[in-house]
Amino acid sequence: MDGIDALRGKFLDQISSAADPDALEAVRLAALGKKGEISLKMRDLGQMSPEERQSAGPVLNGLKSEIDAALKARRASLEDAALDARLKAEWLDVTLPGRPRPMGTIHPISQVMDELTAIFSDMGFAVAEGPQIESDWYNFDALNIAPEHPSRQEMDTFYMHRAPGDNRPPHVLRTHTSPVQIRAMQDQGAPIRVIAPGRVYRMDMDQTHTPMFHQVEGLAIDRDISMAQLKWTLEEFCRAFFEVDEVELRFRASHFPFTEPSAEVDIRCSWEGGQLKIGEGKDWLEILGSGMVHPHVLRAGGIDPDQWQGFAFGVGIDRIAMLKYGIPDLRAFFESDLRWLRHYGFAALDQPALAAGLSR
């Protein structure tokens, strides 16, 4: 038949040069599709005489199956090539060393806050919070601090700016966590047991002072609370926190406007060869201020001093963190030096729990 060899040659060429499955499919349609050249020739067989058909039929059928086979073979080899390319592209060297992932640490202050929260919650204290920018009423007046009290002076306190012409007293960066006493009393009424850990600010800077530092306030108000309960609570706390069975606390008479009587508390310790030991030795280290809440303060918190009384204390968190973990310089706490953070920081899984390490 005319042109069969030409057709065969043309399609076999196109098949072998089809570069991808789409091109190959186009060749298949052009040859064997409904309107493909070979299909059309097969349709012509119907109009042929029986003799013509007898010779043309097998030739056409032979061509059709030859092209069909060539298409299949080409498809298979294109698929192989595609798979090869994919395997090459997605190749993974499992012998390469892993990429290190930077791992952070828990700052000692956060760790200590978690620890003391665990200890005080075990004793029935809830956590209360207040703003770091505080009105001077909450920070001073409500705490029975007179207008002429030295701690109000510009030297210690950071005052916020007021707009020119605004003559209200300026807000302050709270100088202690004690204003949270007032806020907690106003929010919850009596009886009450809260601690309030947080940041406080004073203008001070040397090896043991930074302008921002941390305190935890404690407040317990009920009908018959005495100094004895204050003493027991603080001793229990120190024993659990410093993980020593014997702690000795010394209560020194002191003065705070918001407590009466007031006591500063020292803890017995020893410094030997630069090593600090809590609970033994001849030295005393001041760690907190405390006392029985002043009636004026109860009243400012909306609590009747004839019905209720209680104790309050304020502990320097940075101070006790330095003591417990042997960190010599306070300033380094807030310098964000990675080497320091790696050295003194805690692993994320190092969760304080009374059953693990914080037992008494």
- Judged by CB under 6 A, which of 130, 291, 345, 352 binds ligand PHE? 291
Spatial separation of the C-alpha atoms in residues 279 and 296, rounded to whole Å: 36
Count of residues in contact with ligand PHE, rule CB under 6 A = 10
Q: CB of 300: closest distance to ligand PHE in angstroms?
A: 14
- Judged by CB under 6 A, which of 18, 182, 312, 322 binds ligand PHE? 312
157 sits near ligand PHE (criterion: CB under 6 A): no
Q: CB of 240: closest distance to ligand PHE in angstroms?
A: 20
Query: Residue 146 burial by CB count (10 A; 0-12/13-18/19+): exposed, middle or buried?
Result: exposed
Look at the block and give the residue holding tokens 């098949």. Answer: 15
Nearer to ligand PHE, 24 or 180 (CB): 180
Q: CB of 142: closest distance to ligand PHE in angstroms?
A: 13
Phi, psi of 58 (to 5 degrees): -60, -35
Query: Residue 57 burial by CB count (10 A; 0-12/13-18/19+): exposed, middle or buried?
Result: middle
176 sits near ligand PHE (criterion: CB under 6 A): yes
**Residue among 108, 107, 106, 105 at smallest CA distance from 319:** 108
Q: What is the DSSP string of 26-56?
A: HHHHHHHSTT-HHHHHHHHGGGS-HHHHHHH
- Judged by CB under 6 A, which of 11, 256, 308, 333 binds ligand PHE? 256
Nearer to ligand PHE, 178 or 233 (CB): 178
290 sits near ligand PHE (criterion: CB under 6 A): yes
Spatial separation of the C-alpha atoms in residues 19 and 25, rounded to whole Å: 11
Binding mask 259-278 for ligand PHE (x = CB under 6 A): x-------------------
Spatial separation of the C-alpha atoms in residues 206 and 203, rounded to whole Å: 11
Residues in region 30-59 near ligand PHE by CB under 6 A: none
The stretch near ligand PHE (CB under 6 A) out of 31-39, 45-53, 165-173, 284-292 is 284-292
Residue 255 contacts residue 240 (beta carbons within 8 Å)? no
Positions that interact with ligand PHE (CB under 6 A) = 176, 178, 256, 259, 289-291, 312-314
